[in-house]
């Protein structure tokens, strides 16, 4: 199968580097275009990027030249699938421009996650929300571009663990307290003098994002919009001196009673994507670790090649019903890996640009997937 050409916006950053690592030998996608800020445009990737991953920078990528961060500069060369790893203020400006130029913008930033016609998706949880993208103006006007987002890096791991529980027992209320790795703040991120030997009990806008995104992700698509899950969610977000991996302590109240065995069964039987054979989908999206002192970032962050959430310490909660601890990789499952999996599902659902078919019926234009 010929690989589809893809580009990366924000290619030099923390998430951009993960995109390169995950996509360089991807069976469906081929990186043909890279861009970052105006400061980097025109430079060789190797000269513009401070590579921080523990695998070498791919030699082919090192020689690529960073392009201007606009689709207008050389439209011919801009691929129609763009993975975006931009800060949200930059994303607000650039992502719609690329969508308007006909690109599928598969975004990591928070800029459009809560926008009504933008799908916020974790494929194992709510791939059925993706057809919402057909309502975006740039799709309706025939250009075929759109924005699809993946959630905040804490919301992804959390909602993977919650989705099978919501399906079987319903979630009425949830309290979550996070311990978030420094790589979640990008590079150079939190100054070492602030974080070494310390905990910072504040991450700007993080609690708000986590609270609202959980209810959109676990909501249902009614054919026109997302009906939010009406669960009460309260989050405390903290930055800790861990390099990769966000740990979250969760207390949860269900609408129906659940036993320990039923909860464990809900997690272990949660394999919604298995039959689709997607290259980045983990075999087990949620892995329960029975050890009394797990999960731990240093030991469990790479479970399922960084794409699984590890849960542990399931026990009764004296305030709510049950409590547990979870861990997920913030730059793999929480960012680049999540976006790559979104692209794989879009391809499988025939929703990439070029796959979406336009048909004319009656007075209006109707869009159907091929
Ligand atoms: P980062 O390390 O600070 O990287 C930012 C990237 O954006 C760099 O490539 C930078 O290029 C580029 N950039 C800056 N200004 C630009 C402009 N005007 N036009 C085009 N590119 C520009 O940040 P990050 O951690 O990768 O985060 C990127 C996004 O992903 C953010 O929205 C973040 O919230 C989200 N996210 C991050 C994580 C995580 O764990 N880190 C997880 C989930 C989501 P230069 O090198 O040229 O400056």
Q: Say which residue, 153 or 76, is predicted with more confidence.
A: 153
pLDDT band at 165 (very low <50, low <70, confident <90, very high): very high
Q: Round to whole Å and give the CA distance between 130 and 147.
A: 10
pLDDT band at 74 (very low <50, low <70, confident <90, very high): low
Q: What is the number of alpha carbons within 13 Å of residue 133 lying toward its C-beta? A: 33
CA 122 – ligand 1 centroid, Å: 21
Q: Round to whole Å and give the CA distance between 65 and 45.
A: 6
Pocket flag, ligand 1, residue 39 (CB < 6 Å): yes
Could you tell me the maximum CA-CA distance found in the chain, to the nearest angstrom?
66
CA 71 – ligand 1 centroid, Å: 18
| Residue 365 in this model has a pLDDT that exceeds 70 | no
CA 155 – ligand 1 centroid, Å: 18
257-287: burial string, b at 16+ Cβ within 10 Å, e else: ebeeeebeebbeebebbeeeebebbbebbbb
| Residue 81 in this model has a pLDDT that exceeds 80 | yes
* pLDDT of 145: 94
pLDDT band at 144 (very low <50, low <70, confident <90, very high): confident
| Domain boundary assignment for the chain | 4-151+335-369, 153-329
Q: What is the number of alpha carbons within 13 Å of residue 203 lying toward its C-beta? A: 28
Query: DSSP states of 281-310 as a string?
Result: --S-SEEE--STT---HHHHTTGGGGTSEE
Pocket flag, ligand 1, residue 337 (CB < 6 Å): no
CA 259 – ligand 1 centroid, Å: 42
Pocket flag, ligand 1, residue 8 (CB < 6 Å): no
Pocket flag, ligand 1, residue 50 (CB < 6 Å): no
User: What does the pLDDT look like over 177-199, one tens digit per residue?
Assistant: 999 999 999 999 999 999 999 99
* pLDDT of 370: 39
User: What does the pLDDT look like over 280-314, one tens digit per residue?
Assistant: 999 999 999 999 999 999 999 999 999 999 999 99
Indicate which residue of 153, 154, 237, 329 is catalytic: 153
As a whole-number percent, the residues of the chain with pLDDT over 70 amount to 95
* pLDDT of 347: 96
Per CATH, the number for 153-329 is 3.30.360.10
* Whether pTM exceeds 0.85: yes
Of the options 3.40.50.300, 3.40.50.720, 2.60.120.10, 3.30.530.20, the CATH number for the domain spanning 4-151+335-369? 3.40.50.720
Q: Is 247 helix (H, G, I), strand (E, B) or coil?
A: strand
Q: Is 103 a catalytic residue?
A: no
User: What does the pLDDT look like over 328-355, one tens digit per residue?
Assistant: 999 999 999 999 999 999 999 999 998 8
Task: Decide if 4-151+335-369 and 153-329 have a common fold.
Answer: no
* pLDDT of 358: 60
CA 256 – ligand 1 centroid, Å: 42
When pLDDT is averaged across residues 200-211 and rounded to a whole number, the result is: 97
Mutate-to-test residue for ligand 1 from 8, 12, 13, 67, highest number of ligand atoms within 8 A of CB: 13
Q: Say which residue, 144 or 269, is predicted with more confidence.
A: 269
162-281-120 Cα angle (round to 5): 55
Beta-sheet strands, E only, within 21-88 = 29-35, 81-84
Ligand 1, atom 24, residue with closest C-alpha: 186
Mutate-to-test residue for ligand 1 from 39, 71, 86, highest number of ligand atoms within 8 A of CB: 86
* pLDDT of 72: 79
| Residue 363 in this model has a pLDDT that exceeds 60 | no
* pLDDT of 310: 98
Helix (H) or strand (E) holding 337: helix 337-348
User: What does the pLDDT look like over 4-54, one tens digit per residue?
Assistant: 999 999 999 999 999 999 999 999 999 999 999 999 999 999 999 999 999
Pull the structure tokens for residue 90.
């930059």
User: What does the pLDDT look like over 85-101, one tens digit per residue?
Assistant: 999 999 999 999 999 99
| Residue 367 in this model has a pLDDT that exceeds 60 | no
User: What does the pLDDT look like over 116-134, one tens digit per residue?
Assistant: 999 999 999 999 999 999 9
* pLDDT of 75: 58
301-335: burial string, b at 16+ Cβ within 10 Å, e else: bbbbebbbbbbbbbeeeeebbbbbbbbbbbbbbbb
Q: Phi, psi at residue 33, to the nearest 5°? A: -150, 135
């Amino acid at each position: 199968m010929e690989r589809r050409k893809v580009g990366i916006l924000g290619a030099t950053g923390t998430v951009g580097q993960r995109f390169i690592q995950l996509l360089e030998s991807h069976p469906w996608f081929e990186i043909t275009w890279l861009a970052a800020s105006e400061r980097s445009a025109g430079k060789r990737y190797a000269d513009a990027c401070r590579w921080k991953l523990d695998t070498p920078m791919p030699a082919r990528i090192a020689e690529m030249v960073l392009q201007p961060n606009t689709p207008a500069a050389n439209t011919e060369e801009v691929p129609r699938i763009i993975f975006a790893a931009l800060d949200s203020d930059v994303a607000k400006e650039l992502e719609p421009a690329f969508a308007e130029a006909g690109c599928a913008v598969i975004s990591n930033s928070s800029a459009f996650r809560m926008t009504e016609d933008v799908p916020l998706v974790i494929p194992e949880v709510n791939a059925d929300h993706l057809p919402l993208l057909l309502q975006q103006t740039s799709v309706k006007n025939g250009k075929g571009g759109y924005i699809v987002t993946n959630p905040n890096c804490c919301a992804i791991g959390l909602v993977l663990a919650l989705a099978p529980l919501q399906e079987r027992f319903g979630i009425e209320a949830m309290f979550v307290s996070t311990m978030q790795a420094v790589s979640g703040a990008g590079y150079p991120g939190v100054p070492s003098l602030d974080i070494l030997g310390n905990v910072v009990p504040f991450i700007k806008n993080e609690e708000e994002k986590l609270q609202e995104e959980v209810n959109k992700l676990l909501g249902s698509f009614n054919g026109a919009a997302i009906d939010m899950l009406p669960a009460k969610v309260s989050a405390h977000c903290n930055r800790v001196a861990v390099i990769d991996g966000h740990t979250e302590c969760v207390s949860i109240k269900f609408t129906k009673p659940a036993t320990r065995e039923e909860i464990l069964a809900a997690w272990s039987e949660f394999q919604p994507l298995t039959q689709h054979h997607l290259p980045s989908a983990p075999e087990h999206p949620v892995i329960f670790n029975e050890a009394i002192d797990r999960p731990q970032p240093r030991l469990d962050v790479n479970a399922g090649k960084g794409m699984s959430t590890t849960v542990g310490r399931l026990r009764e909660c004296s305030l709510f019903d049950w409590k547990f601890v979870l861990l997920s990789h913030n730059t793999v499952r929480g960012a680049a890996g999540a976006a790559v999996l979104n692209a794989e599902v879009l391809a499988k659902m025939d929703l990439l640009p070029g796959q979406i078919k336009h048909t004319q019926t009656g007075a209006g234009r109707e869009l159907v997937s091929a």
